[in-house]
Amino acid sequence: MRKSLIALAALSAVSGAAHAQTSVTLYGVIDTGIEYINRVATAPTVLPPGATGPSQGVAPVGPRVGMINQSGLSASRWGLRGVEDLGGGLKASFVLESGFNSDTGIFTGNSAIFNRQAYIALSNQYGKIGFGKQFSSMTDAIVNFMPTRFSPAYEPGIWLAGIDYKPNNTIKYSGQFGSVYASAHYSFGAGLPVTSLSMGGAGVQLTNGGNGEIPGSPRDDTAWGGSVTYLGQTFGASIAYDQWNPSAVVGATAKIRKAYVGGSYTTGPVKLMAGYRWGDQTYANGNVALRDDFWFAGVNYKVTPALDMELGYYYSNIKRMNLNGATGTAINPANPQQVSLVLDYALSKRTDIYLSTAWAHNGSLGNDGAFTLYLFNYALPPGGKNMVGVATGIRHIF
C-alpha cells in the first residue's frame, strides 16, 4: 500500500509538471566560410595628433585569405530558452545564449560562456520584464531595418548601435501591442571591455571595462534607452535612443549618446529601407571624442523562392573625431562610406549558402575601427583609402 501511495505521488508530480507546460529548447546557428580581403593591416593603432584620415593599422600589410572570423550572415551561437506557465496569464522564462567563432570554437571575444544573453523574465499580456544580460532597446529598433539584416560580414551594425548593444546587469521591459513593439532598458553596469588604443602615451580611453555597481559611484558604466517599432505588412518604422556612461576612472564618467530613426516599405518581393543615426561621444571632462551622423539605405529582393538579394549603402559624416585622449584636438577626417551586396540561396528551411561582398572608401569594412574596438580585424593599411571584401559560406540553423 505504501509503495502504491509513493507511486501515485510521483505520478501526480509528473502530471503537475506537464500541466504547467514547462519547456526547454536548445537552438543555435553555425555560420562559417572563406573570406578574401584585398589589402588589410594588422595591429590597429590610431593616427598621430593633427592627422586627417581614419584610424589605421601597421605592417604587415597585404591581402588576407582565410576563414571568416565572426561568421558571414549570422553570428554563430547556441542557446537554451525555457518557459513555464504559472497560470493566470503569467509566465516565467529564461534565455542563456553563447556566441562563438565557428572557425576556432572559442567564445566570441574570448569572453564569458553566455556572452550574448543571460536573463530570467516574467511576462503577461502587458509585456515582459527581464533581469540580466540582454540586447539593448536600440538593437530591438534596428534589426528589422538593416539592409543585410545585421550580418557580421561587412554591415556596420555595431557602428550604428554602439558596442553597448548587449549590456550586462540590465532590467528591460518589452511589449507587443498589435503591430507596435516597445522596449526600455536600464543597466547598472554595461560591463564592456576596455576601449583603449594608444599612440605615444595618448589614445582613446572611455571605459575601464568594469561592470559598474561601484559603491559611492552609482553612475559609473550605467546605460539606458528605449525604442518603439511599428511593423505592418507594407510599412514599418522605428525610433530609439541609447545612452551609455562609461568610466575610465572611478567616479569620472564619459557619455556616449545615440538616437535613431528608420523605416521600410514592402511591396511584393521588394523591401526598401532607410535610416539615420545621430551620435555624440564625449570624454569625462566633456571634450569631444566623436560626433557623427550615420545614414543608410537598402533594398531586399526575393529573386526566387530560394534566392534573396540584399543591397546596402552606408555613409558616415564624421564631424569631429578625437582619438588622442581627453586632452587631444578634434579633427574632421574624410567620411567613410560603403556598399554591400549579399546573395543568399536556401538549400532548405534551415541551411543556406551565400556570397557577400563589400567595398569601403575612407575607412575599413563595417566601419571597423577604434570606436568599435576593431571587432572584425579590418584595420586599414597606412595611407589606404579603399578596402574590398568577398566572403562565401554556409549557414545552418538548428
What is the DSSP secondary structure assignment for residue 192, as one 8-state letter?
Answer: P
CA–CA distance, 365 with 120 (Å, rounded to integer): 36
Checking DSSP bridges between strand 117-124 and strand 127-133, what pairing results, if any? antiparallel
CA–CA distance, 15 with 22 (Å, rounded to integer): 11
Which among 96, 98, 79, 77 is positioned nearest to 31, based on CA atoms? Answer: 77
Q: For each successive 10 residues of the chain (398 residues), what is the average pLDDT?
A: 37 42 95 95 67 71 91 95 97 97 88 93 98 98 95 94 94 98 96 52 59 86 97 98 91 94 98 98 92 98 98 97 84 94 98 98 92 86 92 97
The three cell numbers of residue 253 are 564618467
pLDDT recorded at residue 116: 96
What is the tally of helices (H) and strands (E) in the chain? 3, 21
What 3-state DSSP class applies to 5?
A: helix
CA–CA distance, 266 with 20 (Å, rounded to integer): 40
pLDDT recorded at residue 191: 85
In terms of DSSP H, where are the helices of 178-315? Answer: none
Kindly report the number of other CB atoms within 10 A of residue 113's CB atom: 11
**What one-letter code names the amino acid at 309?**
M
Which among 331, 328, 246 is positioned nearest to 287, based on CA atoms? Answer: 328
**What one-letter code names the amino acid at 55?**
S
The three cell numbers of residue 200 are 605615444
CA–CA distance, 25 with 20 (Å, rounded to integer): 16
pLDDT recorded at residue 91: 98
Kindly report the number of other CB atoms within 10 A of residue 303's CB atom: 12
CA–CA distance, 393 with 33 (Å, rounded to integer): 4
DSSP 324-346: S-TTSPPB-PPPPEEEEEEEEEE
Cα-based distances in Å from 354 to 39, 339, 342: 22, 17, 7
pLDDT recorded at residue 383: 85
Tell me, rounded to whole angstroms, the distance of Cα 210 from its chain centroid: 19
Helix (H) or strand (E) holding 99: strand 90-99
Cα-based distances in Å from 226 to 61, 122, 140, 305: 42, 19, 9, 36
pLDDT recorded at residue 9: 38
The residue ranges of every structural domain in the chain are 31-397
pLDDT recorded at residue 207: 67
Cα-based distances in Å from 5 to 1, 2, 11, 13, 117: 6, 5, 10, 12, 43
pLDDT recorded at residue 210: 67
Which among 383, 372, 345, 317 is positioned nearest to 154, based on CA atoms? Answer: 372
Q: Which residue has the cell 532597446?
A: 137
φ/ψ (deg, to 5) at 206: -105, -25
Q: What is the CA radius of gyration of the chain?
A: 23
The three cell numbers of residue 333 are 577626417
CA–CA distance, 244 with 191 (Å, rounded to integer): 11
pLDDT recorded at residue 225: 98
CA–CA distance, 310 with 191 (Å, rounded to integer): 34
pLDDT recorded at residue 198: 39
Between vectors from CA 152 to CA 147 and to CA 155, what angle results, nearest 5°?
35
- CATH number of the domain at 31-397, please? 2.40.160.10
pTM of the predicted structure, to 2 decimals: 0.90
pLDDT recorded at residue 177: 97
pLDDT recorded at residue 60: 86
